[in-house]
Amino acid sequence: MKIGIIGSGHMGSALGRIWGRNGHDIMFSSRHPSELEGLAKSIGSNAGYGTPQEAARFGEVILLAVPWGQAGDVLSSIVPLDGKILIDCTNPIKKDLSGLELGQNTSAAEEAAKRALGASVVKAFNTAFADVMRSGSRVFEGHRATGFYCGDDQAAKAVVSKLIDETGLEPVDCGPLHSARYLEPVTGLLLELAAKEGMGTNMAIALLRR
């Protein structure tokens, strides 16, 4: 599968490495694509780099992994996205980390869907810390961390579920895209625990069932 990574920071590069090493064709991107040469070479011949527009044209699946404040402009620059799957892992966190810019009546994912013309949008990976995705395992004391996702297109969600599973997270379908209104605030809680409660970012959520 061809995957375009829009935003190759900590999360984008971590997921791109995992998928690239699993045999997918990856194109990393940023506003300064030449800086990504080393990242692409570290994966192999199935990884390349370019501009966000090039990555969007390249990918059957596109990962949106830019800061929330940049998401609108980035999406406007890469549309149309007809027939593509857009994975939105952004969180509408305020710059001072005091809360969410959106919530209850909408979500970052729903706002992204309004701009991502032609794409099937799936919310995923927003409740996972990049440090966990960059580590060697997504298993904590025998429990596999959960990869929550939601979206309105069942076929797109099936593709994303497999990509989540490949990362080592356990995929859990949370229903339609508006469920992102519940998933995005989870990140606020995780940030509170990580920073203000001093737990750090080597932690994850696991949904336990019986």
Instruction: Note the pLDDT tens digit of each residue in 34-64.
Output: 999 999 999 999 999 999 999 999 999 999 9
Does residue 102 have a pLDDT over 80? no
CA Rg value for the chain: 16
Lowest-pLDDT choice from 26-40, 77-91, 122-136, 190-204: 190-204
The pLDDT of residue 105 is 86
Mutual orientation of helices 68-78 and 108-115 as an angle, nearest 10°? Answer: 20
SS3 (DSSP) at 107: coil
Show me where the domains of the chain are located. 2-196
Does the N-terminal peptide bond of residue 80 adopt cis geometry, omega within 30 degrees of 0? yes
Alpha helices in the chain (DSSP H): 10-21, 37-43, 52-58, 68-78, 108-115, 130-134, 154-166, 180-191
Q: Which two tokens stand for residue 168?
A: 């080592």
Average pLDDT on 105-115 reads 94
Please tell me the pTM assigned to this model. Answer: 0.94
User: Which CATH number is correct for 2-196, 3.90.1300.10, 3.40.50.1000, 3.10.129.10, 3.40.50.720?
Assistant: 3.40.50.720
| Percent of the chain surpassing pLDDT 70 | 97
**Parallel, antiparallel, or unpaired: how do β-strands 146-151 and 120-124 relate?**
antiparallel
DSSP type of residue 100: B
Banded model confidence at residue 188, pLDDT cuts 50, 70, 90: confident
Q: Which of 25-39, 97-111, 156-170, 178-192 has the lowest mean pLDDT?
A: 97-111
